Structure 1
Amino acid sequence: MLNVLREKRNSLALSFVSGYADALFFIQLGGLFVGLVTGNVVLIGLGLVGDEKGGLRGLQVLTFPLFMLGAGVAACIVARINPLERATFWTVILAAVLMASAAFFALFNGPTSACALVTVTAMGMLTGINRLDTRLGPPFSLMTGNIAGLAIGVARRLIGYSEKPEEWGQSLTSIVLVCGFVLGCAAGALAQVTVGVAGMLVPALILVLLGLFYAPNKAAK
């Protein structure tokens, strides 16, 4: 088990951070995704028909350009810094700094909306570098696909299908990603009710550790 966690630690850390940040700010603001920004499209639609969860339309719209800005920053870092592992390190560390900044803004009574938008930018950077450096692991924010992969693995087990090594690896990755995201959501919700946005120091610390001990996986085929 320890070997498995060591091999999948990048995926586990990133999925945990994604779930943590999304849950914390969704509860804090009453309806805003900072990582799964496509979910904000649904919330904007709810706002158009008067649902209370769509009451943050301005913030929800702003998540799109800021998320794209974060991904663009990741692309610029990769283009300017070599080798790729070093670019990944600095991207992850910068994302950690942004999340820590959001926490400190909250500690000094900064507006929660600003904290959320800073975190959106950080999540854009993480999603961007995850796409640019395939050795960081498979996409951690595509929970629909990851849950589908988990379901496929479970179904194969139930019918007695013997998975090939690469198929088992895919199923294992789906398990790690889904579990990491769910655990992150639970931790983020707990942080919100105990310390509020200051709890963003936790994912910031996780990202610092991820950057310091970044171990590239084999590139995806």
Structure 2
Amino acid sequence: MKRDAVFYSSLIMAFSAGFVDTSTFTVADGLFSAHITGNFVVFAYKLSNHPQLRDFSNLASFPVFIMAVILTRKMDSLYKNEKGIFAAIGIFLIVAGCIAFLLKQNHIATGFTYHSMLMLIVFSMGIQNTVTRLYANSAFGPTTVMTGNVTKAILDFFNYISTQHTLEKLVELRKSLVLLTGFLIGCVFGALISARFGLVSMLIPGILISAYYIIPTRKESLSLQ
């Protein structure tokens, strides 16, 4: 992908991951949809504090996530359609947002349909986790879990100010900051909007991703250097 396209892709996908992960954690009883291993921590915590049957539902996210990874890899090997796979993330989120709207209208916050909607969100984040591995050049780095990006940003910063005052190190630092900033903004907006509208808020990242990867646009060049 061209440099300007990678910038926009990195920003949009990081924002969306932060938005979605925070929204499900806020609204769906502590469910991590992007940072999937966090559900083990949440489950262990609930297990030590008067566990209920519904607490085990978070564990269902793990096999769903695995299925998303496997199917995404399979679809990639069959069709080699990078934009189509990215667009699928947005489409699944839109479907989840529409289901959430219908459930909200009928005051339903549990049951098979509700949990299926949550797993659809997890599935979409499984796709996003996978595509950043399959298409390493599509973003500046992982867009779903920021721990590695924080570590890289700190190392790049200290390398730059201490010994390596190079343009390359400065560019690498800026790339990490794009991901971290996008994710943080997504987290803030996800928490605020989902607290008010519930998981209908999935329509926001869903439409954003779908519009970017489906609607043909001429993107202005944006240099990081």
Q: What residue number does 1:17 align with?
A: 16
Q: Which amino acid aligns with 2:198?
A: G
Distance 1:193 1:165 in 2: 42
Residue type of the partner of 1:198? V
What amino acid sits opposite 1:36 in the alignment? Answer: H
Q: TM-score, normalised by structure 1?
A: 0.84
Is 1:140 matched up with 2:143?
yes
Q: Provide the alpha-carbon RMSD of the alignment.
A: 2.5
Give the partner amino acid of 1:132: L
8 Å Cα contact 1:32/1:56 also seen in 2: no
Q: Percent identity?
A: 22
Please tell me whether the aligned partners of residues 74 and 128 of structure 1 are also in contact (alpha carbons under 8 angstroms). Answer: yes
Distance 2:4 2:57 in 1: 36
Q: Return 5+ residue gaps in structure 2 as ranges.
A: 220-225
SS at match of 2:143: coil
**Aligned ranges for residues 94-173 of structure 1 at < 5 Å?**
94-109=88-103, 111=110, 112-137=114-139, 138-156=141-159, 159-173=161-175
Which structure has the higher relative contact order (CA within 8 Å, separation 6+)? 2
Q: Which residue is equivalent to 1:219?
A: none
Q: Which residue of 2 aligns with 1:183?
A: 185
Residues of 1 paired with 2:44 and 2:37: CA distance? 12
Once the 2 structures are TM-superposed, how far is the Cα of residue 142 of structure 1 from its aligned partner?
3.1
State the match for 2:77 in structure 1.
Answer: 79
2:63 to 57, 62, 65: 65
Structure 1 residue 77: deviation in Å?
Answer: 1.4
Q: Does the aligned pair in 1 maintain the 2:34–2:145 contact within 8 Å?
A: no
1:19-38 correspondence to structure 2 within 5 Å: 19-38=18-37
Name the CA distance, whole Å, in 2 between partners of 1:209 and 1:153. 33
User: Could you tell me how far 1:55 is from its partner in structure 2?
Assistant: 7.7
**Secondary structure, aligned partner of 2:190:** helix
Contact 1:78 1:88 in 2 (8 A): yes
Shift of 1:154: 3.5
Q: Distance in 2 between matches of 1:89 and 1:51?
A: 45
Deviation at 1:30, TM superposition (A): 2.5
Q: CA deviation at 1:46?
A: 0.7
**Aligned mates of 1:130, 1:7 — CA distance in 2:** 11
Corresponding residue SS for 1:195: helix
Is the Cα contact below 8 Å between 1:72 and 1:125 reproduced in 2?
no
Residue segments in structure 1 that go unaligned for 5+ positions in a row: 216-221
Q: Does 1:93 align with 2:87?
A: yes
d(CA) in 1 for partners of 2:79 and 2:26?
Answer: 37
Give the CA deviation at 1:7.
Answer: 4.5
* TM-score, with structure 2 as normaliser: 0.82
Following superposition, the deviation at residue 47 of structure 1 comes to: 1.8
SS at match of 2:142: coil
Q: Distance in 1 between matches of 2:210 and 2:187?
A: 20
**How far apart are residue 75 of structure 1 and its match?**
0.7
Equivalent pairs, count = 207
